[in-house]
């Protein structure tokens, strides 16, 4: 995809960037605000990042928005996150269309409240003809559950006689993951300085370049995204070779 005139020029643009958007609660705490204010502010970071990714020429952007483990947070916080998500999905359709962004989602989508699931479906449909950036939201996502569901799906195919166990290799298995339509991420960004994967894309991140920034997600803006891509540009991806 062409590099947008507004974005810096990069020699080597990652095709797929995945982001663990972390630090909303700490951002709010630092300001003596309730955690939800951090989540609210984080929506602005999502907007800026989607624009930056599109303008850079990234093809796929996966955002970890809500994990299966996040259901264990206090009900009031979960309810607020779901409300913010629904609002985002409803209010952002025009903006996504304006920027030619196609929305997709991965995770246990059936776990979402019906109203959120309905809005998600609507926004996916309303943006399905866009040909620019593909924005993938990970919602009620768990990397281990994704792998288990893929195993179950492979077993069903075997039982139906559609595949022979001897044929199962990485390519065949990958076709049973939520991410079957997307390439593996080239670059993973995590904000707020935490050095862990938190159950995100465990299979897909095998050879992904990692970039951890101390910046809290609500403060993350276009220059932070460009900094991560700059860092990616200078990496030497060896895949075990020399
Ligand atoms: C990320 O920010 C948003 C979600 C996980 C939904 P956090 O809410 O995890 O913020 P911290 O990590 O507590 O600061
Ligand atoms: C990871 O952040 C999940 C999302 C960003 C949606 P968490 O804040 O839930 O991760 P931990 O608990 O610090 O590992
Ligand atoms: Mg966190």
Residue 164 belongs to some domain of the structure: no
Q: What is the pLDDT of residues 119-133, one digit of tens each?
A: 999 999 999 999 999
- Can you tell me the mean pLDDT for 12-16? 98
Number of domains the chain contains:
1
On whether the CB atoms of residues 139 and 65 are closer than 8 A, the answer is yes
- Can you tell me the mean pLDDT for 38-67? 98
The domain that holds 208 is classified in CATH as 3.40.1180.10
DSSP code of residue 219: G
Spot the catalytic one: 22, 24, 186, 224: 22
Residue 194 CB–ligand 2 contact under 6 Å: yes
In the residue annotation, 22 being an active-site residue is answered as: yes
User: pTM of the prediction?
Assistant: 0.97
Residue 198 CB–ligand 2 contact under 6 Å: yes
What is the number of the ligand closest to the CA of 43?
Answer: 1
Residue 114 belongs to some domain of the structure: yes
**pLDDT tier for residue 72 given thresholds of 50, 70 and 90:** very high
Q: Which burial class, exposed, middle or buried, applies to 210 when counting CB atoms under 10 A from its CB (0-12, 13-18, 19+)?
A: middle
CA angle 3, 85, 183 (to 5 degrees): 40
- Can you tell me the mean pLDDT for 61-85? 98
Q: What is the pLDDT of residues 153-203, one digit of tens each?
A: 999 999 999 999 999 999 999 999 999 999 999 999 999 999 999 999 999
**pLDDT tier for residue 110 given thresholds of 50, 70 and 90:** very high
94 CA from centroid of ligand 1 (Å): 27
Residue 39 vs residues 24, 77, 108: alpha-carbon distances, Å: 5, 10, 21
Closest CA to 138 of 61, 23, 49: 61
pLDDT score at 6: 78
- State the residue range of the domain holding 116: 16-144+185-233
What is the number of the ligand closest to the CA of 78?
Answer: 1
How far apart are the C-alpha atoms of 185 and 60, rounded to whole Å?
8
Spot the catalytic one: 12, 70, 164, 219: 70
pLDDT score at 2: 54
Residue 199 CB–ligand 1 contact under 6 Å: no
Residue 90 belongs to some domain of the structure: yes
How far apart are the C-alpha atoms of 63 and 76, rounded to whole Å?
22
How far apart are the C-alpha atoms of 91 and 177, rounded to whole Å?
29
Ligand 2 atom closest to 70 (CA): 9
Residue 155 belongs to some domain of the structure: no
On whether the CB atoms of residues 199 and 143 are closer than 8 A, the answer is yes
Residue 63 CB–ligand 1 contact under 6 Å: no
Residue 71 CB–ligand 2 contact under 6 Å: no
- Can you tell me the mean pLDDT for 57-63? 99
How far apart are the C-alpha atoms of 136 and 103, rounded to whole Å?
6
Pocket test for ligand 1, best of 26, 138, 200 (most atoms within 8 A of CB): 26
212 CA from centroid of ligand 3 (Å): 14
In the residue annotation, 164 being an active-site residue is answered as: no
Residue 40 CB–ligand 1 contact under 6 Å: no
More confident residue, 3 or 81: 81
Distance of CA 113 to the CA centre of its chain: 20
Residue 179 belongs to some domain of the structure: no
Q: Which residue has the tokens 């196609």?
A: 102
pLDDT score at 5: 66
62 CA from centroid of ligand 3 (Å): 17
How far apart are the C-alpha atoms of 92 and 77, rounded to whole Å?
22
CA angle 153, 154, 159 (to 5 degrees): 95
Q: What is the pLDDT of residues 201-229, one digit of tens each?
A: 999 999 999 999 999 999 999 999 999 99
- Can you tell me the mean pLDDT for 137-155? 99
Residue 56 belongs to some domain of the structure: yes
Residue 199 belongs to some domain of the structure: yes
- Mean pLDDT of all residues in the chain? 97
Residue 152 belongs to some domain of the structure: no
Residue 21 CB–ligand 1 contact under 6 Å: yes
């Amino acid at each position: 995809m062409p590099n947008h005139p507004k974005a810096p020029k990069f020699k080597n643009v990652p095709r797929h960037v995945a982001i663990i958007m972390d630090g909303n609660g700490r951002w709010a705490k630092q300001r003596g605000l309730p955690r939800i204010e951090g989540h609210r502010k984080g929506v602005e970071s999502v907007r800026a990042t989607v624009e930056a990714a599109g303008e850079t020429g990234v093809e796929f952007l996966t955002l970890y928005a809500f994990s299966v483990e996040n259901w264990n947070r206090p009900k009031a916080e979960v309810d607020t996150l779901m409300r913010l998500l629904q609002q985002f999905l409803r209010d952002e359709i025009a903006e996504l269309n304006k920027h030619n962004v196609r929305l997709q989602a991965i995770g246990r989508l059936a776990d979402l409240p019906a109203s959120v699931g309905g809005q998600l479906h609507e926004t996916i449909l309303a943006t399905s003809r866009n040909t620019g950036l593909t924005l993938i939201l990970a919602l009620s996502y768990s990397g281990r559950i994704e792998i288990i569901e893929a195993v179950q799906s492979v077993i069903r195919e075997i039982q139906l006689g559609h595949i022979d166990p001897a044929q199962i290799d990485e390519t065949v298995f990958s076709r049973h993951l939520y991410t079957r339509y997307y390439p593996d991420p080239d670059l993973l960004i995590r904000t707020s300085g935490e050095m862990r994967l938190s159950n995100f894309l465990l299979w897909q991140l095998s050879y992904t370049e990692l970039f951890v920034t101390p910046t809290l997600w609500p403060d993350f803006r276009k220059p932070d995204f460009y900094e991560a891509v700059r860092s990616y540009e200078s990496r030497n991806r060896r895949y075990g070779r020399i």
